[in-house]
Chains A and B, each alone.
Chain A
Amino acid sequence: MTVLNPPIVPRKIYGLIWVVLLLLLLLNWGLAQLNLGPFNLVATLAIAFIQMMLMLLYLMHVRYNTPLTWVFVAAGFIWLVVMINLSLSDYLTRGAVAGRFGKSWIHETSVPPPVYLPKP
């Protein structure tokens, strides 16, 4: 009768995930104390991502779930990526205009102020 419920995950796995999550937290906290330059950002976000995936897949049972659930979970993230991506298409190219041939066609330049016609 419980076919439609997710299978019972052994307590051992929950325990293991808990320990791994706490270790990752410790690692993350430790890395923040060191100055790794740009790698601080990369490492921190990577660890957060791993922690999220562990929780999604095991604690939230996505791993044991139907393809439909996978689609629904993915949808939220895909939409988020679309929103961030297309917004950044604006922010990363602010003030840039098309250049001439031979140069990178997007380059930083200041936009000249508009020229107004003299009032009659």
Chain B
Amino acid sequence: MNATLPQTETLEIPKPPKRLLTYFEDGGRTVGSWLLTTDHKRIGILYLYSIVAFFTIGAIAAAIMRLELITPAGDLVTSDTYNKLFTIHGTVMVWFFLIPSIPSVLGNFVVPLMLGARDLAFPRLNLLSWYLFNLGGLLALYAIAIGGVDTGWTFYTPYSSTFTNTHVVTMVAGVFMAGFSSILTGLNFIVTTHKMRAPGLTWFRLPLFLWSNYATSVILVMATPVLAMTLVLLSIERIWGVGVFDPQLGGDPVLFQHLFWFYSHPAVYIMILPGMGVVSELVTCFARKPIFGYHFVAFASMAIALIGFFVWGHHMFTSGASVYSGLVFSITSYLVAVPSAIKVFNWTMTLHRGRIFLNTPMLYALGFIGLFTVGGLTGLFLAALALDVHVTDTYFVVAHFHYIMVGGMVTGFLGGLHYWWPKITGRLYPESLGRLAALIIFIGFNLTFFPQYVMGYLGMVRRYHAYAPEFQIYHVMSSAGASILGVGYLLPLIYLIWSLKHGKKAPANPWNATGLEWQTPSPPPKHNFAQTPIVTRPPYQYSAETEEHMVYG
């Protein structure tokens, strides 16, 4: 049926016959029209509200912890409160911010646009996913409000099932719900990517964001059910006092760790792959060059998703798993470095002799490449059996995964948010403030977390609210950095909201980028395209020689 449409060049901006209503206007502006919407763009924005709220809660917990850690004595909060604080921080940030951040917010918004589709394959399921997510989030908040949980985000047994007196089951129920929401989102993306690509959009013409989004979805779908069942078993053990993981009743606590990390290690890649996808988009757009080694970057995403399932045992080198399995998991963990490095090299080669525009999204992308490299390389330290024994449960580990998750994913998220902000809202953000914020975040982040590598290596153990005085200098640096980081996060919140009303109107394609999402007006109409686009070329046909029309806010 689409074959009868005239063959248009994909890079042109098709002029709609008349002005279509934007997705803000079409369907009404009432609260009800938002809460019952099945439009992927509106659901993406609903997710944005949710994750900003959860991020704020997680960030407040982190801020109190950093305040406590300025002095070696535990003088601001008790050790019990401190345990609850890092549990809040971990649980909320992992399940209610990082996992849905890029896939559910940016992915929801741009995936159908990039595919040239009118919506995701199952729009009602998409809305259900948002409701489940919020229900789970509210349950988790309820658990926090009635007294909190002190197990850490990993809920290790038998402490979580037998010994703690906190509200583990409520919290776990919240995470379980959020898991269902993840599965539905992943399922929706997988089916949509398979079945709803625009005519001519073959797999190897897909933008790289879609490849990493697809890889992420595979993880969401294949790993999350294991977590769900593990949490069910944990709750059963806790409620009925029967032994599944309790060693006193013959259970094996390490089995819990196996099951938990079978989900949670791949989940770490849920928290980085989408960021890599965003960076691939940004690097090629702002270097005005086709991506270097498209196929390698695409397959690297799939390889990371796949190998990510073979490595979970490296979290258990010191918890009683066998030496042989440690060896196996150590080797497979090294393997993950290969596709990750391929990505970094390809981004770097894309920059090489490109015409680089240092716009805000590009600053975030460059920050991502640097911080991810540091985080990834220190991950190799941790994959080495012997060294891991030395630094397990120290701040070295904390620094490592914050470099990946905050330095990687949050940076990628902010970069993507700025990049697609004109498309999402139809307004440009103030460019100079944006660059300033990106710079502040980069500095604040490194000041916060780099000292943690050092003190971790020197023996500072994680999850303690009091510590030996010789570590104070590092903790003070870290806390100072955290306050800078806080300012850096507040700035975009303020100027992005400001730009909604006062920002310049955005054209359809402010970055002169090539993706399908830029060929429809900003903000897009309800069904995304006036007519189904037809793709005739590979992605990223940028050229440094052509005249550029970058629009600055």
Direct contact of A and B (CB under 8 A): yes
Contact mask A93-120 → B, CB, 8 Å, 1/0? 1111110000000100000000000000
A96 touches B324 (CB 8 A): yes
A-B contact list, 16 entries, CB within 8 Å: A76-B222, A83-B226, A83-B309, A86-B312, A86-B329, A87-B255, A87-B262, A89-B324, A90-B254, A90-B258, A90-B316, A91-B322, A93-B322, A94-B322, A97-B323, A106-B324
Q: How many residue pairs at the A-B interface have CB separations less than 8 Å?
A: 46
Complex Cα distance, B194 from A89, in Å, reads 35
Instruction: List the B side residues contacting A82 at CB < 8 Å.
Output: 309-310
B328 close to A (CB within 8 Å): yes
Q: How far is the CB of A75 from chain B (nearest CB, A)?
A: 7
Complex Cα distance, B322 from A98, in Å, reads 11
Residue numbers of B with Cβ under 8 A of A are: 194, 222, 226, 254-255, 258, 262, 309-310, 312-313, 316, 321-325, 328-329
Complex Cα distance, B329 from A20, in Å, reads 43
A95 touches B322 (CB 8 A): yes
Complex Cα distance, B539 from A12, in Å, reads 51
A79 close to B (CB within 8 Å): yes
Residue of B nearest to A90 (CB): B325
A75 touches B322 (CB 8 A): no
B324 touches A93 (CB 8 A): yes
Instruction: List the B side residues contacting A87 at CB < 8 Å.
Output: 255, 258, 262
Instruction: List the B side residues contacting A76 at CB < 8 Å.
Output: 222
Instruction: List the B side residues contacting A75 at CB < 8 Å.
Output: 222
Residue of B nearest to A89 (CB): B325
Residue of A nearest to B329 (CB): A86
A68 close to B (CB within 8 Å): yes
**Could you say which of A68, A79, A83, A90 contacts B322, with CB atoms under 8 Å apart?**
A90
Instruction: List the A side residues contacting B322 at CB < 8 Å.
Output: 89-91, 93-96
B194 touches A86 (CB 8 A): no
**Interface core residue of B313, B316, B321, B323 (most chain A CB under 10 Å):** B323
A86 touches B323 (CB 8 A): no
Instruction: List the B side residues contacting A95 at CB < 8 Å.
Output: 322
Instruction: List the B side residues contacting A93 at CB < 8 Å.
Output: 322-325
A86 touches B328 (CB 8 A): yes
Instruction: List the A side residues contacting B313 at CB < 8 Å.
Output: 86, 89-90
Complex Cα distance, B329 from A89, in Å, reads 10
Top 9 A-B pairs, shortest CB-CB distance: A90-B325, A93-B324, A93-B322, A89-B325, A90-B321, A87-B258, A94-B322, A79-B222, A90-B322
Q: How far is the CB of B270 from chain A (nearest CB, A)?
A: 15
Complex Cα distance, B262 from A98, in Å, reads 26
